[in-house]
Amino acid sequence: MSKERKCHNAGFTLIELLVVITIIALLVSILMPSLGKARESARKIVCMSNLRQAGISMATFAAENNDLLAGPNTTGRKLGQYAAGTPEYESFVNSSPKSPTQNVDWMSPILGKDLGLPANFNERLERLSNQDFCCPSSRVNYDYEYTGSNNYDAMIGSVPVNQVRQFSYSAAIAFHLYSYRSKDVSAGWVTDKYSSANPTETVPTNYAPRAGKVGRPAEKIYIMEGSRYVEAGANGKYEVSLNRAAYQNDGGNCMSYGPATPRGNGDPFKWTGARTNPQLVAGTEKFAYRHNINGKPAFNVVYFDGHTETLGYLESLDVNKYWPKGSAIFRGSNTWDPALQGKMNFVVN
């Protein structure tokens, strides 16, 4: 007697498919946070490497240049004397990969040669922003160029301004200043008096922008994340502008006073609430505090001794980190440092 053999399809039933899909979705939901953390960790490592390179290059520059720091009163001093667009200005800013793009540009003088930057001003600026020296966690592009008015259609060489990334880093400008009591700003110097009013924070009268003058190098921040100019637009949304003016006395696009003593409206550190417990304005973390510690906003810094750290937003408000030893903070209530509230005539240690 012959037996009939029945053939069955080797496919999955609908219920089996749904079970498999559910398991895959569950695995993805478990793995995605870990993958996101791994990506952020990798980006943070690249950012720290950039800062470490800047610290090494700063030390090398100082060793080769009588302990001077590259900045507005040294490498950029001539841009306080040349008017933008003049032959002298054009020749200077386009002469070398190490020529500053504005007087406060510390990057080109110390990194230009090592990074192989172009001598052309606009090409160098675009490379520093988009390719050679940027934090991979930065997702912010400039919205417009400020030239006395807001130009949203500006071109940086052949690149539209809104395709140029906000500079990732700024130097703590106070270490690069002279006291207004010792230098005349009309001669192109940059001092702690950035407006007509007397400053509420000043560097020591005999201070000079030299690496050996800053104070304890392991406690003084050389470079931090974030850069100017960040301001609220007409619709209340914060926008970032590029300002290519040759002479800057408030930090320009390359320096800032830091989160504890922001000057004017352009600094990327936006605070709200009581100064004894300040909080970042919602949505502004992306301009500087791109990383996190235990889920709280944080940014990366390099100190004058070359070591790097990630500082939480409250930890970053220690005014001592951004000013030379012996600087005077006349009113603690003018700062965002919680420890200085209610204090007068504080001397930076």
Phi–psi pair at 54, nearest 5 degrees: -65, -40
Question: Tell me, what's the pLDDT at 35?
Answer: 64
Q: Which residues lie across from 292 on neighbouring strands? A: 297
Let me know: does 301 contact 225? Beta carbons within 8 Å. yes
For residue 176, being part of any structural domain is answered with: yes
Let me know: does 170 contact 256? Beta carbons within 8 Å. yes
For residue 10, being part of any structural domain is answered with: no
Q: How many C-beta atoms lie closer than 10 Å to residue 330's C-beta? A: 15
Query: What's the one-letter identity of residue 345?
Result: N
Write the pLDDT tens digit of every residue in 48-92.
Answer: 999 999 999 999 999 999 999 999 999 999 888 887 778 988 999
For residue 5, being part of any structural domain is answered with: no
Per-residue DSSP letters for 109-163?
HHHTTTTT--SSHHHHHHHIIIIIS--TT--PBP-EEESSSEETT-EETTEEGGG
Q: Above 70 in pLDDT, residue 43?
A: yes
Write the pLDDT tens digit of every residue in 116-166.
Answer: 999 999 999 999 988 889 999 998 999 999 988 899 999 998 999 999 999
Which residue segment(s) compose the domain that 156 sits in? Answer: 16-347
Residue 143 to residue 232: CA distance in whole angstroms: 12
For residue 8, being part of any structural domain is answered with: no
Question: Tell me, what's the pLDDT at 93?
Answer: 92
For residue 4, being part of any structural domain is answered with: no
Let me know: does 343 contact 330? Beta carbons within 8 Å. no
Number of structural domains in the chain: 1
Write the pLDDT tens digit of every residue in 4-31.
Answer: 545 555 566 888 788 888 888 888 777 7
Q: Regarding predicted confidence, which is higher, 64 or 197?
A: 64
For residue 3, being part of any structural domain is answered with: no
